[in-house]
Each structure stands twice: as structure tokens, then as C-alpha cells.
Structure 1
Amino acid sequence: MQALVMQTLARTALFASLLFTLPALAQDAGTGDASAGERSWNKCRACHQIGEGAKNLVGPQMNGLFGRHSGTVEGYSFSAANKASGITWDEAVFAEYIRDPKAKIPGTKMIFAGIKNEKEIRDLTAFLKQFDKDGKKL
């Protein structure tokens, strides 16, 4: 009988700890940290700019990325593959692309090994989503 009580208490304690842990895990799984994403942006800034006054460099400026059609930044010479990709950038498409750009758009000019860490991708996404098409922070 005592063993049964101990097992029940252990299960109750486990259940209680899950109730407190799961919301934190769910938040971590779904949202990114823009501050951490700004640090990840350092991997991008050699080729891209973002924010007010951003210009095209080796790669296009990244203002207002989400909701934009691929290959449409004014003044940037995109690859034919990028222009023909039919992509409209959203969080899921960006995550797939940034993991392995050449796999998502074969023929892209972007030379980047990719970001494999899911949390880093969410963080970078949160950072990018702060900027509207004019580079103003939302």
C-alpha cells in the first residue's frame, strides 16, 4: 500500500512539474527573441542591410521581407531562379530557405551554408519582422 501511495505522489509531482514546464516550452517553440535575432543578423550583415536607409549590397535589403514576393526588391539584380520561384515570404518559407538556401531555390545567387538551429531561426525571424518596408521598426 505504501508503495502505491509513493508511486501516486511521484506521478502527481511529475504531472505538476509538466504543467509549469510545458507553457515555457511552447513559448520557446513558437516565438523568437528579437534581441537574440539581432545577434544572429551579424551572419547576414556582410551581404544585407535592414532598417531606415538600408541599401542593396551583395544581397538585397531586407526591409519588409515578410509578405513580399521573392525577387522583387527594386534595384537589386536577382537570379532567374529567385524571380521564378513564386515564393511569398512568410515565417515557414523563410525558415526553410535560411536552413539551406540552395536547396529551397536551386540556382540562387546566395552563397550561405544556412542556419540549422531552429531557435536561432525563430530569433532571426523575430528580428526581421520588426522592420516594415521602409525600414521603420514596428
Structure 2
Amino acid sequence: MTEITKKTIKELDLTIYSIAGDFRIKTLQDLLDQFYQSQYTANLALDFSEAKSPDISRDDLDEILAHAKKYAHLRSSGKTAFIVPSDINFGLARMYETVAEIRKHTILHNVFRTFEEAIKWFEKLQALTEHT
């Protein structure tokens, strides 16, 4: 069973989804649909700290990427962080990040082991944006 909780940090224009338990490709696609059909923010963090390692193939990564790219125009300056402390999920997130870059996904992605690292990244990017 999958549990998903949502939190917003307005100062960072950030929505955080924490995913716990089992998750599938369809879970992530539905989550993206929900995010973009609501009052979405420029920035998104997907926290997999409590998620079990999924059975995801390279084709599944391509499917998730294609689904995400159809929404990319809605937050062209947006950023997405993956928070994945487990080695297997971290590797999957890094693979997604690499495939997204190769396929020229316009959203900037980064992968972190901790929530704190991800928040620091968003804060740093926000500070850079404010000073330019």
C-alpha cells in the first residue's frame, strides 16, 4: 500500500510529496497528474525516504519521463528534487536524472540522500535567482 502526504513551503514555491510503502509507475503518473491539476508550485520535491524499492525497468523510466515532459511547459523554470536515502532508489533516481538530461527535459532535476540537502539546494537556487 502506498501512502502519500503533501506539504508546501510557500517561501520556496515548493511542493513536497512524501511517498511511503510500495509504489508503482502508475502511482507516480497519478501523482504528477494531481500535482499539475491543482495549484502547482514552480518547485517539486519527491521524498522517497519511506518508500520501498520498486520493480522499475528502463522502459518504465522512459514512460515516467514522457509523462512528466508533457507538463514541462507549465513550469519551465521549475526544479525537481528526488530525496532517496536507499541505495537502490538513489540509483534509480540518478538513472532518471540522466535519461531526463539526455532527452532534453526542460525541468532541472537533482537527487539527494536527505531532505535537508534538497532544501539547501532549493534555497541556493532561489538566492541565485533573486540576485540576478
**Shorter-chain TM-score tier:** under 0.3
Structure showing greater relative contact order (alpha-carbon pairs closer than 8 Å, 6 or more residues apart): 1
More strand by share: 2
